[in-house]
Amino acid sequence: MPLFFSYRLSLAFLLSVLASQPLQSEPLRNATSTQQIFSGASTDPYTLAVRATVWGYPLVRAAQLRQKATQPEHPFAPRPTTLATAPINRIGQARDLAGPDTRIGVAPNNDTLYSLAFVDTQAGPFQLDTPDFGTRYYIFQFGEADSETRQSYGQSSHGGRLPPIFIAGPDYRGEIPKGAKVVRSAQRYLMVAGRVLVDGSQDLPNVHRIQDAIRLRKWLGEGRLVEAPITSQRPLAGDINGAPNGLKLLANLGTVLEDWRVSKEDADFIASLRRIGLTTENGFRYAHLPTVERAVIERGVADGLAIIREKTRHLGTLSGGWTTSYAGSRFGGDFLLRAAVAMDQIYVLDKDEALYPVAHLDAQGQQLDGRNTYTLCFRKQDLPPVDGFWSITLYYEKGFLAANPIGRYSIGDRTPGIVYGPDGSLRLLIQNDDPGEEGRTNWLPAPREPFMLMMRLYRPEARAAEARWHPPAVRPVNPKVPPDSAGCRSP
């Protein structure tokens, strides 16, 4: 196992260090599954660092999202109207659809307005009350602190009207209001994310009225509801204490673990992390680690992140350059899948509520890049099968929306003026250059750099949810083929 030093070591000490580092850790660099990474007990620092990174990355991303939403870096600065931010235990409302300035989380949707809260269940319980949504699409998601979602309620489950939602922590044993839907968090913190469909900018005032009637309050019993207190949160240690860059993730994970309720399934694994300085009692104590061992742990973190990054390109079934995960928001024990989803599209909805095919590659297996020109053609029978609606959003590779001259960040079945062919097919243009007035209605602007596409199928039909339908490939434009003869034919 190669090691890197900032000073010279004696040969005897070097040999003793090498002897203490089991060689079985090396294959983890190329691991592609949770089973490969977590198989068998280990005390090897490199292996434990890889495991801690893969297991802990979603917990850290969720905590960073919570703190960024509830404790902005500049608390008195104006907040963009595209962000649904508010103090802890309060609900914030986005007043405009997501745009390039939406920098909380990754891959924000451009179809709905968000209502967002993070609750500290130690300050609860809470009650969420919502108005009548009529026939409008909406969904309220309850995201756990490990980035998994086990409960969500909306139009598909309750029609236009939700009952009161009662939110409690894992230790709550008190009264529950009659008729309420109960959401019980597995950990101290829980995300509440509402999404309400917006049909164009002219529809915003209607959605604002709905948002104004959404209330999140502390429940005192016997029908008494009050505004919840704003509670303090532990600062993430890796963001404030000057930890080396290669150890910041573990320092942040240490902070999360100090608030973590350890399940019996995770108890042995979390106990094993003590070997590399991670505990629920004291967070991450790295200062006492020998310099050589610290370097090994840093390499394990780097390799763990690389493994997650590679997994984001293989999140499920690959077809025509699109990867679709059918696991939805419930990952079970698949920690690598959970981490990759957190890196690429944290807090997705359950697969019965939404599917998220993602394309990084074109039909030829090449990275999508705005310096090229592409078409995406749906034959009539191949249009996304949904009971709700569908859209395609373009992000540059960091997962944020790219500014463009027409302010269009997504395109779909609700795009005003979108043009279908005489045979019912739909041909979309994905490129940087403005295609002119005739092609602009079907144009999704791309930056002159690598990008990715995310399709959203809200309330997908069974053939989509059961992987019997896949999106067509994104095809590079061949300048030798006239557009009208490069239509939506079978490949």
The answer to whether the peptide bond before residue 2 is cis (omega within 30 degrees of 0) is: no
- Quote the CA–CA distance of 261 and 82 in Å, as a whole number: 33
User: Which whole-number Å values give the CA distances from 92 to 82, 85, 118, 216, in the listed order?
Assistant: 11, 5, 10, 10
Phi first, then psi: give them for residue 150, nearest 5 degrees. Answer: -110, -15
Is residue 135 packed enough to be buried (19+ CB in 10 Å), middle (13-18) or exposed (0-12)?
Answer: exposed
- The pTM of the full predicted model, rounded to 2 decimals, is 0.86
Residue 11 in this model has a pLDDT that exceeds 50 = no
User: Which pLDDT value is given to residue 200?
Assistant: 86
- Quote the CA–CA distance of 308 and 32 in Å, as a whole number: 9
Q: Which tens digit of pLDDT belongs to each residue from 202-220?
A: 999 999 999 999 999 999 9
Mean pLDDT of 15-37: 66
Q: Which tens digit of pLDDT belongs to each residue from 140-156?
A: 999 999 999 999 999 99
CB burial readout 280-317, b (16+ within 10 A) else e: beebbebeebeebbbbbbbbbbbbbbebbeebbeebbe
Do 262 and 210 form a contact (C-beta atoms < 8 A)? no
Token pair for residue 300?
Answer: 């394990």
74-88, 108-122, 415-429, range with the lowest pLDDT: 74-88
Question: Where in the chain is CATH 1.10.3360?
Answer: 28-63+235-307
Token pair for residue 359?
Answer: 């394309």
Question: Where in the chain is CATH 2.60.40.1610?
Answer: 72-226
**Which CATH architecture is the domain 28-63+235-307 placed in?**
Orthogonal Bundle (1.10)
Mean pLDDT of 401-429: 94
- C-alpha 414: how far from its chain's center? 24
Number of H helices, E strands in the chain: 12, 24
Do 357 and 76 form a contact (C-beta atoms < 8 A)? no
Question: Where in the chain is CATH 2.60.120.600?
Answer: 317-485
Fold of 317-485: Jelly Rolls (2.60.120)
Domain 72-226 is found in CATH 2.40.160.100: no
Neighbouring residues of 73: CB distance < 8 A, sequence distance ≥ 6 = none
Phi first, then psi: give them for residue 439, nearest 5 degrees. Answer: -100, -5
